[in-house]
Amino acid sequence: MSTAYAPMPAALETRRLRLQLWTDADAEDLCLLAAERGTAAPRVERAREILAEGRAATATTGLALLRITRLAEGDFIGYCGLLVGRASVDEPEIAYELLQRTHGHGYATEAAGAVLDAAAATGRKRLWSTVRPWNTPSFRVLEKLGFERDRVCAEDGDGELVWLTRELP
């Protein structure tokens, strides 16, 4: 690994959730999540490639998007974690996506809170998030976590993007 930061842990636990690294066996879960996006979901072979790309990025940056399962039910519900995304290795983006049937129970806030603590433990001092202006639930999650709006950009050719940021202790 080529960064000055400690890697994110391979697993995190909260009151209701377990967050852990993906394996090839989880490719169908990724397809399930992608199928809800309203665009063509990847085939399982492509999902395996996406997961392998994620593992390669983690090996380089120490950052990871972790799959989430509920502790009580044992079921897969989505992911949350850190990635370079539109930001940087030093000040990465936080990201999350959950299956629709599990929205509205505070799971994203709970998972992202654990990821925030893990980000601070790697030695990082600031996180970013980029959100489409219509994404009220995501803004609310970030607000609950103490993120603040930084700027609005339109440079990616796909509409406006709101940048939010949070200092880490």
Ligand X SMILES: CC(C)(COP(=O)(O)OP(=O)(O)OC[C@H]1O[C@@H](n2cnc3c(N)ncnc32)[C@H](O)[C@@H]1OP(=O)(O)O)[C@@H](O)C(=O)NCCC(=O)NCCS
Out of 140, 146, 156, 160, name the contact with ligand X by CB under 6 A. Answer: 140
E strand intervals along 76-139: 76-83, 93-98, 126-131
Q: Which stretch binds ligand X (CB under 6 A): 1-9, 50-58, 97-105, 160-168?
A: 97-105
Out of 127, 131, 145, 164, name the contact with ligand X by CB under 6 A. Answer: 131
Q: Does 101 bind ligand X (CB under 6 A)?
A: no
Q: Does 133 bind ligand X (CB under 6 A)?
A: no
Query: Identity (one letter) of the amino acid at 88?
Result: S
Q: Does 136 bind ligand X (CB under 6 A)?
A: yes
The Cα–Cα gap between 17 and 11 comes to: 11
Phi, psi (degrees; rounded to nearest 5) at 70? -80, 135
| Continuous segment of H or E residues that includes residue 27 | helix 27-35
Out of 1, 53, 73, 106, name the contact with ligand X by CB under 6 A. Answer: 106
Shortest Å, Cβ 89 to ligand X: 20
Phi, psi (degrees; rounded to nearest 5) at 39? -115, 175
Footprint on this chain of ligand X (rule: CB under 6 A)? 96-98, 103-109, 131, 135-138, 140-141
